[in-house]
Amino acid sequence: MFLVFPDSDAIARHLSARLTEIIRNDPQAVLGLATGGTMEPIYARFVQDALESRLDVSQVSSFNLDEYVGLAAAHPQSYNHYMHQHLFDHLAFDESRLRLPDGLTTQLEQHCRDYSDAIASHGGVALQLLGVGTNGHIGFNEPGTPFDSRTHVVELSERTRVDNSRFFDSMEEVPTSAVTMGIQDILSAREIVLVVTGEHKARTMLNYQEGGITEKLPFTALKLHANTHILLDEAAASLLDDTLCQRPPQQACA
C-alpha cells in the first residue's frame, strides 16, 4: 500500500510527528538519516516542531546513509555540511552521537566495516529515512548492488551524477564515488520510511509497482521488509494503480 499525501508539506508534517513520537518514547533513539532535496522540507518542519515543543534531542544518535568520497565535511556540497545546515545546527544535538561516513578517510575499507559494525552495535536504527534516485538507488546503492551488501564504496552512475549535478556548479565537480550503507544495513532498520516526491519520480514508482524484487532496481529490496512505509505526493503517485493508494486524513496545519 502506498500512502499518498497532497504535497511534500503534508508529508513533512506527518513525518515530523512520527519522529517526535519515536524520540518521546525513547530519548536515546537511533535514527537513520538521508540527505537530498526530498528531505529538506521534512527537516525544516521537524526543526520547527521540535523547537516549538521543546523536544529533547540531546541523547538521540544518528547514522547517515552516505557521503561523497573526496569531499571534506566542511565542503558546501558534502552530506555532512547538508546535515548541519538542515538539521543538526538548529537543535541541541550531542555532536558526538551524530555519524556520517567520512569521505576523506584514507582507510576506506576499514572505515566501511567500522561503520556497519557501529550501526549493529547500537542495536540497529529505529527508523530509517530514505529517498530514492530516479534509477531506484537507495543510499548510493546503484542498480546491481547485492541485497546482502554492507557499507561500501560505490562508483556513482552517470545518471546519479547528472541528477545530483544540480547541487554543484558544474558536472566536473560532482564526485565520482561515495561511501554508502549497504542494502543489508538499510534492511536491518526496525522501521523504514521511503519518501518520494515530484513528477520526475512517477515512472520510478511505476517500475516499483510493476516489477518484482530485483537488484536491477535496488529499492525493490524494501518489499522484503515487513515494516516499510512508502509516502508519496500526488505527483510521484500519478502513474500508480489507485487501488493501491491510501490517502490518510490530513492533520490541520499549525
Q: Which residues are catalytic?
A: 66, 135, 137, 142
Q: Which is nearer to ligand F6R, 2 or 140 (CB)?
A: 140
Q: How far is the CB of 67 from ligand F6R (least distance, A)?
A: 9
Q: Which residues pair with 229 in a beta bridge?
A: 193
Q: Are 132 and 204 in contact (CB under 8 A)?
A: yes
Q: Which residues pair with 67 in a beta bridge?
A: 179
Q: Which is nearer to ligand F6R, 4 or 55 (CB)?
A: 4
Residue 155, helix vs strand vs coil: strand
C-beta nearest to ligand F6R: residue = 131
- Size of the chain, expressed as the number of residues it contains: 254
Q: How far is the CB of 25 from ligand F6R (least distance, A)?
A: 25
Q: How far is the CB of 89 from ligand F6R (least distance, A)?
A: 18
Q: What is the rounded distance in angstroms from the CA atom of residue 84 to the CA atom of residue 157?
A: 26
Cell 505526493 found at: 233
Q: What is the rounded distance in angstroms from the CA atom of residue 244 to the CA atom of residue 254?
A: 29
Binding site for ligand F6R (CB under 6 A): 34-38, 65-66, 79, 131-133, 137-140
| Ranges of H-type helices in the chain | 8-25, 40-53, 79-86, 108-121, 158-164, 183-187, 202-210
| Four-CA torsion 47, 199, 3, 31, nearest 10 degrees | -40
Q: Which is nearer to ligand F6R, 133 or 175 (CB)?
A: 133
97: how many CB neighbours lie within 10 A of its CB?
A: 16
Q: Which is nearer to ligand F6R, 61 or 141 (CB)?
A: 141
In 48-126, DSSP assigns E strands to 61-64, 66-68, 98-99
Axis-axis angle for helices 79-86, 40-53 (nearest 10): 40
Q: How far is the CB of 174 from ligand F6R (least distance, A)?
A: 12
Q: Which is nearer to ligand F6R, 55 or 63 (CB)?
A: 63
Q: How far is the CB of 36 from ligand F6R (least distance, A)?
A: 3
